[in-house]
Structures are given as C-alpha cells and as structure tokens.
Structure 1
Amino acid sequence: MKKRTVRLTGAVLSALMLGGSLAACSKDNNNGNAASSSAPSQGSSASASASPSASPSSSPAAEKLDPVTLKIYFAGDKRPATDEVWKAVEEKVKDTLNAKFEINFIPFNDYATKIKLLATSGDNYDLNFDADWLAYPQMVNNYLDIKDLLPKFAPNYYQQLQDRNMVDSITSGGKITAMPWTQITNDHAFVSVDFKKSGLEGKVAQPANGSIKTVEELDAFLQEAKKGRAEQPHPRVGRRPDLQQDPLHARA
C-alpha cells in the first residue's frame, strides 16, 4: 500500500507539470479565469499545482516502480497532438515513474457537474482539472493534504516556494491542498486593427502578421495609420500576458 502511495505522488506531480500547460491554454478560451486540475481516487484527494521544477527527477527513487496508468480529466475540448504530447511524457518519465496516462476531456459547460458526479460515483481517476469557478468549492474537502509530500517528492519546487515566501500563502487550516505555478505563455506587445471598419483599407499598407518586431516599426505604422484616418480612434495596442497562477489538485 505504501509503495502505491509513493508511486501516485510522484506520478501526479509529473502530470501536474503538463496539466499546467493545458490549463494555460484553457484560460485563453475562458476569459482569463483562473483554473486548476484535480485527480480523484477512492478515499481522500490530494491537491497540488504544477511547476517546471516539480520534475520527476526530484522524486526519490528508492526502487523500481511497478507500471501504473494515471487517469486524468481536463476541462474543454481535446486539442490537436494531445495524444502525441502525452506519449512523449510517458517516454520521458518511463525510467522514473513508469507511468502511462489516460487523458479524458469534458466540455466546460458540463464540467463542474460531471466531475462532481465522477468523484462521488466511485470513478477511480487520479487527477482532474478544477478551479474556484468550477467544482473546487464543493470538492475541496476531497483533496489530499500534500504539506508533507511536497518537500519529499518535489524538493526543488518546494524550495522555490520557500524562497518566494509562498508556503504560508498556500497553507489553509494547516494544510496545503494546492501547488501554485506561474507560467507565462505569451508576453508581447500586439496591434489589432480592422482595416475595413477603420477606413484604412486602400489608404495604408497592411503589414503581414508578425512583421512588426520593434518599437520603431510599431511607431512608424501608427503614424501612417493616423495619417490615413485621422478622425478614427487609434489602433488598439496592448500587452497580452497569459499569466497562469492556478492550483492543480490531485486525488490519491
């Protein structure tokens, strides 16, 4: 029994790493709301969130682990190359976790209801996406306290939390049921212009997507746009940092 618990812990932390990336993608389709991932099993649940440092290599390897398949639920639609990505993860962690991943998706509109049903119906899954705007308020007591597991199985990541004075902020009621991560998936200035509606069509040369790479090139384009349609509002310019700071939750 102990061996199985250790196995799930290391594998779940690894799965959370990739879960963070998928959650970041999900954020783009959900107006930037914070998201998380949880994995259920029978009994208590473990909650945790992913960081690149929470790698399988940071887990103690006392002995060769028996093969295990981790069943995971994510919110949203299955994305292209999902199977290929998870196969690559399996290969990467084969010698450390010896885990395979069974990945499932539930549409966002049905997710909160269905994930609670799965958790209460005895579906023996290991990890699921969750958030405070989904099922987390109702599922929170099902997540395992990982306070003692973090320093043991993800020491590098736990050290980062300590260095950033984040341990207290993720502790509630003496328990840690979430591992926060910060992942910047996109952080660059962008220009959005509807040439037809703005009246610039035929008056200003439309640059190719991605061709404006410097502030000087951006300024030159804006000056031309201003001349072409002086009475029209300026093109929208802004930063788009898709910054994830969401918890992933694992049920072991």
Structure 2
Amino acid sequence: MRNYTRLAAIVPLLSAMIVAAGCSSSDPKDADAKGTSASPSSASASEGGASTQEALEPVKLKYYFFGAAKPGDAAVYDEINKRLKEKINTTIEFVKVPNGDYTQKMSVMVNAQEAFDLAFTSPNYLDYFSNAAKGSFVDLTELLPQYAPKTYAELKPEIWNAAKVNGKIYAAINQQIFARQSGLSLSKPLVDKYGFDVSGVKKLSDLLPFLEKVKAGEPVEQTDQLYNAQMKNQVFSYFFPYYEWETIGGTDVPGVADSTEEHPTVFNEYDTPEFKDFVMTMSEYQRKGYIAKDALTRPTFDPAKYAANSIATLMPGIEETLKTTYKADQVIIPLGDPILTSPNAIATMTAVSSTSKHPERALMVIEAFNTDKDLYNLMVWGREGVDYKKVGDNRVESLPGATYGPAYGWMFGNQFNAYVSGSQPDDVWAQTKALNESAKVSTLFGFNFNPDNVKAESANCAAIVNEYKAAFNTGMYGSDTEKKYNEFLAKLKTAGVDKLIAEKQKQVDAFIAAK
C-alpha cells in the first residue's frame, strides 16, 4: 500500500540534474532517385570516411530539440555539419525551441503532419507514448540494429523493452542516468549565511523557514523569484521516485502505480494527500512572495536569484551542472532511494518523424552522436579553444566569453562520452553506470501502457491537467486554491479518469500475471 509518511534517506554523492527537443522538411533536391537516403548495404558507412561520401547521396535533415539560443550556435552547428558531411554525407538544420514551449510547438507540428526528421521526445516532452501509438514516429525496431548497430548494442534488451509501444520501438534511447531519485537543491551561500539545517527537509513545505529568512534578509530586488516554480513542467512528477510511484502512459495522463508492490495498484495521483500538499504549498509560496508574482507572464527569469529548486533526477557529480545553471554552489537534498522504472529508462530519447523522407539517414545521425565522442562533445561543449579548453585527457573548463553551451548532454546521445568538468569526479560515468545497475528495479519494469481503449479519456484528462498545471505550479489561485483543486478533481471525473484508471489497472494486472 502507499506510504504517505515515507521518510527520505539522505544519500551522499548523489545530486540533482534538471531535467529534465526536430522538424525537418527535407529538400526534394537532396533525395536520391529511389526516394531513400541509404541502402542496407551502406549502413556500415556510418563509420565515416571517403567511402561514405561516395556511397551516400547528399541529404539535409532538420532536427528540433529544446534549449536557449546562444550566440555561438551557428558556428558550432557549421562545424558539426562539416564533420557529418565527411562522415555520412549529411547536413542538419538544428532548431532550438525554448524549454517551456517545446511540447506545445512540436505537438502542433506533429498533428499538422509537417515534415521533419529528428526530434527529442520523452514521457514528459512531446509525449513519446501517445505519439508512438498514433504513428507520429517511425517504427525503429528493425532499423535500429541495421543503421545504428552500435547504439542498439550498447543497451541491454531489457532497457530497449522499456521503449516498446505495442511491441515496437519508436525512438532511440539516449544513454545516461536511468535510475531516478528525487531531490531539492538550495543555494549554498544562502544556506550558510542563514544557518539553515537541511537535515530535516523531507518535502517542499519544509523549505518555508529558509525562504522566509532569505526573503527578510536579502535586498528586495534579489528576492522576487526565490523558488523555481518551473511553471510549464510537470513538477509534481519529480517526486514520484521518492513516493515510489510510477508514471503509466504519459506524465500528464492521470493514473500512476506503486512501483515496488508485488501487485501494483493504479490510482489517480492528483487525488492524493501528496498532490494536495504540493498545491497548497505552492499557494503559500506565492502568497509569501517566494514565487514571482508575474510568473505566468514574465518572459525571462534570472537563474542566479533562485534560492531553492525542485529536482527531477539525481546523479553522481551533477553539482557542477547546478552550479553552472544557478551561478552558485548548491546544497543537494536527496529524497528517497534510486529506483529504475520504464518511464525513467526512456526519459531522454531521439525519435524519427514518420514524415521524414530519410529515416535511414536520420538513424545514421543518431549513431554518429552516440558513437563519435568528438562529435558528441562538439554538440555539448562547443569548439575547443573558443568555448572550452582541455585541462586533462577527459576534463575541460569553459572559457571566459564562451558563446556556446554547455548544452544538455543527455539530450543528444550517449552521455557517458561526455567530458567531465569542475567538481565532477573523473569516474563520474562509471559511478552513474554502477548506480543504474544497483538501483531498486520496479515491479513494472518493461510494462508499457496501450491507450487504444481509452484514447478519448486520455486526451481529455491530459487537457484538463494542462489547463490547471501552470497555475498550480505557481500558486496563482491564491485564496481559491482549495476550491480550484476540488474543481480540478471534478473535471477529471467528468472526463473519464475512472475509466482510464480501470483500463490501466487491467493492463497492469495482465502484465503481472504474465510474469
């Protein structure tokens, strides 16, 4: 049964990673006479070299992902394209979409069947499950071993099983931290200044005394956005590993299950004490001025002003990433223990659009980013001598005045190829692999929900979740918060949440019985 009072174990060495994505209209002149970009015999050409150039017709792809545009983007992408041109006679138009706008923008493009080639996807961004089920992505089950053989061979079959929808694989998994652990991070200078004891922090409301001291003690111009509300993200789901809950069929679609029970029960995560506490805490944060008053309309936020953040994923050595993001050392507060679930194993993926004219070549690009360490680090770190310098065989430092990156390494391929930096230990990726291997494995690992029988209910409930999500995340309902919460639950009922949960339970039961 669910344990609403489960305490967090503080685990040293583990820290948080914000998790926490391409449309391509291939130029007709780039297509070969047969209408395909490569033949099976040329798949090995992904190894690169002059033979590849001769074997493959020139192709231009378009690749969408999320991130903030940087002045140095164009120069880095030009260098990447030079290497891809030599390697597999391919060039790419890279398109960044702002983080909070990514799913909405890409969903519109997908639904309009706009042509594109590569896109970032996950259960949280450009919902992998629903888009795979409705045919928006190419079935890669046979294509991956053929055109991205090393990428495919790098992961165990059990991990690939986590990506299957109706028995098929519809995106390449980006290798990174698969085990998930919830957490919080606080500005270390502020924790030290106000003598805040983090040992008693088990939930967001436990941060209230800390934020109160910072609000009272710091200049007013520095305290207008003390908590990072991440308004467009599914922030509540960040805590699922802590509760040992598991997403089933997409993060915005109600219905989660207990990950470690012998016979998992599916329930509406929004109709729980945990979610109500989250909503009411955010309302209090807003009332006391810890969340920006104009959070729903402010175009930009200053990361250096955040005193506290909710973290979706903890991993070894990630303190350096947080320091770079928030411009200050962070105190990490792990919650619960690491757990391996199917949604977390596929938290970062690269899909090929069903509208792509060159799916084989798109897979060869995926293979290149997963297997070519220099190419991968060019995408993550930028140009050596311009954006970073090497200070060891596998260690780098960003250069003053760098105009690119570091980009999200988990978004583009095998993160275990990434250079390390700052306080990251030299063996950070060995530690990460070990954590993946040692994490508690969910009872439901390998289970994937088939939404065919409840497509309308899934879509209607997800729409209601997204109607309320940003305001709940930012506490914008004020004194009406509890009323709005009850209204939200009632709308989910009307939209068919009970039928949706019953279907999920039926499939979970069948999966457990088959095991």
TM range (shorter): 0.5 to 0.7
More helix by percentage: 2
Query: Structure 1: where are the runs of 5+ without partners?
Result: 1-26, 43-53, 185-189, 200-234
Contact 1:38 1:248 in 2 (8 A): no
Change (3 A) 1:122 1:160: closer
> Deviation string for 1:130-179 (max 9, x for gaps)?
332233244222111111111111112222224x6433333332211122
2-structure distance, mates of 1:120, 1:41: 15
Which residue of 139, 154, 157 maps to 2:151?
A: 157
**TM-score normalized with structure 2 length:** 0.28
Helix, strand or coil for the counterpart of 2:120? strand
Contact 2:139 2:168 in 1 (8 A): yes
Aligned pairs for 1:35-74 within 5 A: 37=21, 39=23, 56-57=46-47, 61=52, 63-74=54-65
Shift of 1:41: 6.3
Alignment correspondent of 2:189: 193
Change (3 A) 1:109 1:39: same
Change (3 A) 1:143 1:41: farther
> Deviation string for 1:98-118 (max 9, x for gaps)?
122212222233322221222
Which residue of 139, 161, 174 maps to 2:131?
A: 139
- The amino acid that maps onto 2:349 is P
Shift of 1:58: 7.8
- The amino acid that maps onto 1:96 is K
Shift of 1:97: 1.8
Alignment correspondent of 2:39: none
Q: Mean alpha-carbon deviation: is it higher for 110-119 or for 143-152? A: 110-119
Aligned pairs for 1:82-231 within 5 A: 82-136=73-127, 137-140=129-132, 141-162=135-156, 165-183=158-176, 192-194=188-190, 195-198=192-195
Higher RCO (CA < 8 A, seq sep 6+): 1
Change (3 A) 1:156 1:135: closer
Contact 2:46 2:52 in 1 (8 A): no
Contact 2:137 2:170 in 1 (8 A): yes
Alignment correspondent of 1:32: 19
Helix, strand or coil for the counterpart of 2:103? helix
2-structure distance, mates of 1:55, 1:198: 59
Helix, strand or coil for the counterpart of 2:146? helix
> Deviation string for 1:79-103 (max 9, x for gaps)?
3422222222212222232122212
Instruction: Give the number of equivalent residue pairs.
Output: 166
> Deviation string for 1:65-90 (max 9, x for gaps)?
22222112222321342222222221
2-structure distance, mates of 1:139, 1:40: 17
2-structure distance, mates of 1:111, 1:87: 23
Helix, strand or coil for the counterpart of 1:104? strand
Q: Could you list the runs of 4 or more consecutive aligned residues of structure 1 that deviate by over 6 angstroms after TM superposition?
A: none
Shift of 1:244: 8.8
Contact 1:39 1:249 in 2 (8 A): no
Change (3 A) 1:62 1:83: closer
Change (3 A) 1:128 1:197: same
2-structure distance, mates of 1:245, 1:131: 5
- The amino acid that maps onto 1:32 is V
- The amino acid that maps onto 2:103 is A
Change (3 A) 1:62 1:172: farther
Contact 2:23 2:115 in 1 (8 A): no
Shift of 1:237: 5.5
Change (3 A) 1:115 1:169: closer
> Deviation string for 1:204-236 (max 9, x for gaps)?
xxxxxxxxxxxxxxxxxxxxxxxxxxxxxxx94
- The amino acid that maps onto 2:194 is K
Change (3 A) 1:238 1:114: closer
2-structure distance, mates of 1:80, 1:70: 22
Alignment correspondent of 2:419: none
Q: CA RMSD in A?
A: 3.9
Contact 1:193 1:236 in 2 (8 A): no
Change (3 A) 1:126 1:238: same
2-structure distance, mates of 1:56, 1:238: 43
Alignment correspondent of 1:11: none
2-structure distance, mates of 1:238, 1:110: 29
- The amino acid that maps onto 2:151 is Y
2-structure distance, mates of 1:78, 1:55: 32
Shift of 1:39: 4.9
